[in-house]
Amino acid sequence: GAVVSQHPSWVICKSGTSVKIECRSLDFQATTMFWYRQFPKQSLMLMATSNEGSKATYEQGVEKDKFLINHASLTLSTLTVTSAHPEDSSFYICSALTGDRGKVYYEQFFGPGTRLTVL
């Protein structure tokens, strides 16, 4: 149980194009999903919190017009990197929360990640 998938697992695109990454919770409903990015040999950096049916909450320094997040259903959140540039090349990882908002303790389950390379 608690499986999270991401698609695609890797993508190569030209500078200036937009790329959409999907994050799905396969066997549970996730009211909240998170998006992280990770540079080589570095930690995960939280980019935004995605809540089903409402606007995403972005971390300081993350451009919301650059990284569009949509959480249209309880099992799907998408991250669109708009007008991608080489500096956007990174490993993007999503996670999904189990449990309802009434729970105090949460476990996050992570997707396998998406490797984005912008040429």
Partner 1 sequence: SQQGEEDPQALSIQEGENATMNCSYKTSINNLQWYRQNSGRGLVHLILIRSNEREKHSGRLRVTLDTSKKSSSLLITASRAADTASYFCAPSSGSRLTFGEGTQLTVNP
Q: Which residues bind partner 1 (CB under 8 A)?
A: 4, 6, 32, 34, 42-44, 46, 49, 91, 93, 95, 97, 104-113, 115
SS3 86: helix
Q: Which is nearer to partner 1, 6 or 75 (CB)?
A: 6
Torsion sign across C-alpha atoms 6, 39, 37, 63: negative
Spatial distance between the Cα atoms of 13 and 15, rounded to a whole number of angstroms: 7
Residue 68 CB, shortest distance to partner 1, in Å, is 21
Closer of 86 and 104 to partner 1 (Cβ): 104
